[in-house]
Each structure stands twice: as C-alpha cells, then as structure tokens.
Amino acid sequence: MGEKIEHDAGRQVYGARRVLVVEDEDFTRTAVTQLLESGGLSVVAVANAADALSALATHDPHVLLTDLDLGPGPNGADLARRVASERPWVGIVVLTVHKSVHLAVSDREGLPQEAVMLVKSQLTSMADIEQAIDLSISQVGQLPLAEVVDEVYPVLSSVQADTLRLMAQGLSNAGIAERRGTTLRAAEASVQRTLHALGIESRPDMNSRVLAVRMWQAGEVSVR
C-alpha cells in the first residue's frame, strides 16, 4: 500500500494524486501535463468535455483541472458543474485568463462554489498549481468560489462585465440589445458606461471597443 497523502471527502487516498487535465490547446495541455508529472502527480490529459467524462470513469481523479474555453461543445463551466453534481468528492481547478469569474462566465453559466480559479498569467511554477490543487481538495463542498486576484484593475459591475463579455464575442450594440432583449439605446448606454468604468475615453485615432476587449482578454479587469 502506498503512502497515505490525504483525506478526500471521508475517503483515505493512497499513492500519487490523480489529476484530469482538460485543455483544448495542444501546447498548453502538454505543458501543464509535463509540469504536473514533474511534481509526481498522475495525469490523464484530454482536449474536450466529452473525452473528460469518459476519462472520469477510468481515471477516477482526485482533481479536475480544466480550462474554461474548450472550443466547440460544452465548456469548462459545463464540465465543472457536472463533475460537482455527479462526483462531489472531486476537487475542481479552473484555468482562465481572467482575474474574475464574473468576466469568465455569465451568471447563468456559473461555476460550482467549490471551484478554484487559477489565472494563467499568474502561473510561474509547480507550486502555484499544487496550491490550487490542495485548496480544491480541502474545500470540496465547504467554501465559496476562490479566485486568484493579487493586482488592482478597473472595477466593473456584473452588468458591465456582461456587456464587456458580449463585446468580446464580437457583438455590435444592436447585437447586445437583441441578446439582452433591451432597446438599442439601452445597449449603447451600457457600452458607454462600461468603457467609462474601464477608463477608456473616445478618441478619433483609437478603437475604444478593441481596447476594452484587449483588457478583457488580458484579464486586466475586476468585478465587484
């Protein structure tokens, strides 16, 4: 019998921790897998949610480590919710480019409360992932969503964050109005309030929406 390394939802766990990595980008998936394996973890890596569900049964992981954006099909939030429902003893770590969960997913696509958010730009060593894995296991079914935020950025309301997310999807003001079921004027006002909150002023030589989306993509926004 291997060395006992943890208690997991009332079960004693022996041997190396098993991690299921779900990442659609080949380079990132390989890099994360190699990093985890260098730390002595047992890793199975797949590219999408469908393969992840199959691997759950065969690999029986202690932790799911998934990117939010998995390309076509179910995303990381969908997968995390299903795992939390069907395998509540599994820790969940979610990789994202965003400093805030409110920018990463909309309210209707929310993550399980136990999930740990890990910002990609803040990954500097194996210790960062190990800390997130330990936290995800320790707080299964106990603590609210943990976010990794250590920098100060412009603060948006949840409505403004949703507006920015729709802008990043390429929607025009008319498209935002249609998606929300509001008037065009209301959508225009929401976009302007969002740009103002980001500190972006209208300039003839700059595209304000592009600047806003770049901030969103870089995770340089907080949400209250």
Give me the CATH number covering residue 211.
1.10.10.10
9 within some domain:
yes
Identify the pLDDT of residue 131: 83
Per-residue pLDDT at 65 exceeds 60: yes
Identify the pLDDT of residue 96: 79
Same-domain pairing of 112 and 162: no
Identify the pLDDT of residue 87: 84
Identify the pLDDT of residue 2: 35
- 3-state DSSP assignment of residue 94: strand
Mean pLDDT score of the chain, rounded to an integer? Answer: 78
CB hemisphere CA count around 134 (13 angstroms): 7
Helices (H), the chain: 26-38, 49-59, 76-86, 101-104, 126-138, 158-168, 173-180, 184-197, 208-218
* More confident position, 40 or 218: 40
Domain's final residue, options 91, 111, 138 = 138
Taking phi over 0 as left and psi of -120 to 50 as alpha, with beta for the rest, 215 belongs to alpha
Percent of the chain with pLDDT over 90: 19
Same-domain pairing of 108 and 162: no
Per-residue pLDDT at 103 exceeds 80: no
Range of the domain at 179: 155-223
Q: In sequence order, which residues have a C-beta less than 8 Å from that of residue 95 and are 6 or more positions away? A: 23, 32, 65, 66, 67, 68, 76, 118, 120
Identify the pLDDT of residue 106: 56
Q: Please report, for the domain that includes residue 20, its CATH number.
A: 3.40.50.2300
Render pLDDT for 149-187 as a digit per residue (tens, 0 to 9): 445 678 888 788 878 888 888 899 999 998 888 889 888
The domain tally of the chain equals 2
Token pair, residue 160, equals: 């403004």
81: phi then psi, degrees, rounded to nearest 5: -65, -40
Q: How confident is the model at residue 191 (pLDDT cuts 50, 70, 90)?
A: very high
146 within some domain:
no
Report d(CA 221, CA 212) in Å as an integer.
Answer: 10
Render pLDDT for 117-147 as a digit per residue (tens, 0 to 9): 887 776 777 788 888 888 887 766 544 444 4
CB 92 within 8 A of CB 115: yes
77-102 mean pLDDT = 81
CB 40 within 8 A of CB 118: no
Identify the pLDDT of residue 108: 45
Instruction: Read off the amino acid at residue 113.
Output: Q
Same-domain pairing of 49 and 90: yes
What does the angle CA 135 – CA 61 – CA 66 come to, to the nearest 5 degrees?
A: 65
Same-domain pairing of 131 and 213: no
Identify the pLDDT of residue 136: 82
Per-residue pLDDT at 9 exceeds 50: no
Identify the pLDDT of residue 43: 92
